[in-house]
Each structure stands twice: as C-alpha cells, then as structure tokens.
C-alpha cells in the first residue's frame, strides 16, 4: 500500500508532510524521495526504537524532524516546529513488523515473551498488570469490547484462576483451556488485540486525533489513514463523514481501499488493512 500512500498524498515537492506513525520509515522513505530540499517531513512515533532507527536511516536525507510522542499531539508538535499547517498527513495504525517479531515485547502469541505490549516503553501500564490485577468482569469487558470475542467471560475467568500470568505462552494456555479448538487461533489473536488496544489506549487516542487533525491541514491537503480492525475503521469513517457533511473535507475514497489478492499473498499481515483518504476543502 506504499504506492497508494504516495499517490494519494499528491506530493508537492516543497510541501510539508506529517507521517504520524513513522515506524521503521517505510512510508517516510518514499515520501522523502518526492520532496526537494525545500520540502519537510515531520515523523512521529511513540516507540523509541522506531525513532532511533529512523534517526540513523533517514536523517542523512533531506529535511526530516522526528518526535518521540503520541500522534494525537500533532497540533502541538507542528506549533513547536513553527509550522502553521501541513500539506498532508499519513496515519498507519497498528503495529510494525519489527514490533510483532520482537522476542521481548509480547505483541505476538507465536513468540514466548514477557507480557509487555507497550508501544511506549516509558509508560507504566503493561499487559501483565492488566492480566494480573483487573477484575474478571473488567477483563471480560476488555476482551469483548476491544477483541469482539464472544467467549470473553470464560476466558477472563480462566485467566484469573491461573494467576499470575507471566508470559505470552502462559496466556495462550489460559485461552486454550477456555475455548474449543475450532478457530482457536482467531480467538487468541482477538484476545491479544484487545489487550494491546487497552495497554496503549488506542481508541481514545485515535478519537482525539480525529477531532483535531483538521486544523493542522492546509486547504487541499490530504489525510490518509490505514486501519487494521473494524473498531478503528468505524471511527475514521464516521469522523470523515461528519466533516464531509459540514463541507470541510471531500472524501476521496468512497469505499476504503483494501489490499489486492496479490498484495495479501506477498504480505499476509496487510490483509485486514483499510485505507481511507480525505481532502480538506
């Protein structure tokens, strides 16, 4: 979807752009290729490792400013950078392959690790704290509301009965013991997703961003948001619709762009991606 991002951005080579979840710089690298020395890219990520990586790999190129922060602070970040408006915004939600493949961060149910799941390693709350201190009903609500998992209550009960839960594989075992084998991988993925959303307060942050990005964008500037599950996509869709009703933006993607079959085969992790684009009027 990198090509889509670059094409939809309509890059003006001397413009200013914000990659609000720069990750390991995949999109940023391609955006920078289209910018002249007058152009500028603001890169934001909560993850220290991602920022450090981008410092080393992207800093030698043109004008890029990196911020280790949450993307919903974009209005403050551009103000601090003496920028009035940006000409385009990219928000690629979810987690990077580097985070998913990490052997110590606890994002993947396929890798045995401590239960961390923080994007920002300076944050206090980790998945292990939630699993070992929340009540059964609070745990069940997280699993149901953020994972859409029907068996949330029995999974939560099992987790509580097996405390302390210390590792990802221990959590997988608790889920295994409370669910039938059919489609179990999906259930495990849903529970992991729900915990990650809770640990990182992902939906609140997205809502805050959606209510403030408009003032950061110049007229004709575009925003591109890639989401990976229906909870996020619903928020994006409604925010765009509300702004469009008020004649503040044009929705460029009437239906979200989804990866083609070939893209899904090449990169199975992108299969649930939905890309939406809007342009400020």
Ligand X SMILES: C[S@@+](CC[C@H](N)C(=O)[O-])C[C@H]1O[C@@H](n2cnc3c(N)ncnc32)[C@H](O)[C@@H]1O
Which residue lies nearer to ligand X by CB, 38 or 234? 234
Which two tokens mark 245? 């009703």
CB-based burial of residue 195 (10 Å sphere; 0-12 exposed, 13-18 middle, 19+ buried)? buried
Which residue lies nearer to ligand X by CB, 53 or 174? 53
Q: What is the DSSP letter of 269?
A: G
Which residue lies nearer to ligand X by CB, 23 or 147? 23
Which residue lies nearer to ligand X by CB, 173 or 263? 263
Residue 62 beta carbon to ligand X: minimum distance, rounded to whole angstroms: 17
Residue 75 beta carbon to ligand X: minimum distance, rounded to whole angstroms: 14
Interatomic CA distance for residues 222 and 174, integer angstroms: 45
Residue 229 beta carbon to ligand X: minimum distance, rounded to whole angstroms: 12
Interatomic CA distance for residues 137 and 168, integer angstroms: 21
In the chain, beta strands by DSSP E: 16-19, 40-45, 64-68, 86-92, 217-227, 249-251, 274-280
Residue 258 beta carbon to ligand X: minimum distance, rounded to whole angstroms: 16
Q: Which residues bind ligand X (CB under 6 A)?
A: 21, 23-27, 44-47, 50, 70-71, 92, 94-96, 119, 200, 205
């Amino acid at each position: 979807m990198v090509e889509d991002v670059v094409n939809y951005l309509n890059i003006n080579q001397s413009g200013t752009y914000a990659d609000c979840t720069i990750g390991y710089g995949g999109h940023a690298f391609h955006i920078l290729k289209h910018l002249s020395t007058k152009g500028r890219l603001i890169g934001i990520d909560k993850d220290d490792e991602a920022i450090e990586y981008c410092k080393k790999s992207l800093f030698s190129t043109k004008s890029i400013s990196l911020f280790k922060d949450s993307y919903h602070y974009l209005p403050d970040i551009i103000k601090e950078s003496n920028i009035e408006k940006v000409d385009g915004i990219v928000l690629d939600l979810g987690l990077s392959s580097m985070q998913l493949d990490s052997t110590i961060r606890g994002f993947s149910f396929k890798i045995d690790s401590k239960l961390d799941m923080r994007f920002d390693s300076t944050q206090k709350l980790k998945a292990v704290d939630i699993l070992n201190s929340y009540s059964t009903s609070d745990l069940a609500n997280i699993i149901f509301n953020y994972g859409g998992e029907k068996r949330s209550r029995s999974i939560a009960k099992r987790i509580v009965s097996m405390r302390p839960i210390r590792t990802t594989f221990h959590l997988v075992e608790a889920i295994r013991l409370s669910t039938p084998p059919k489609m179990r991988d999906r259930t495990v993925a849903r529970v992991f997703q729900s915990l990650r959303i809770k640990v990182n307060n992902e939906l609140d942050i997205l809502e805050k961003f959606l209510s403030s990005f408009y003032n950061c964008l110049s007229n004709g500037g575009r925003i591109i948001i890639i989401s990976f599950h229906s909870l996020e996509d619903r928020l994006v869709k409604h925010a765009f619709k509300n702004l469009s009703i008020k004649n503040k933006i044009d929705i460029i993607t009437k239906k979200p762009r989804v990866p083609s079959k070939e893209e899904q085969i090449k990169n199975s992790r992108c299969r649930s991606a939905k890309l939406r684009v809007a342009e400020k009027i």
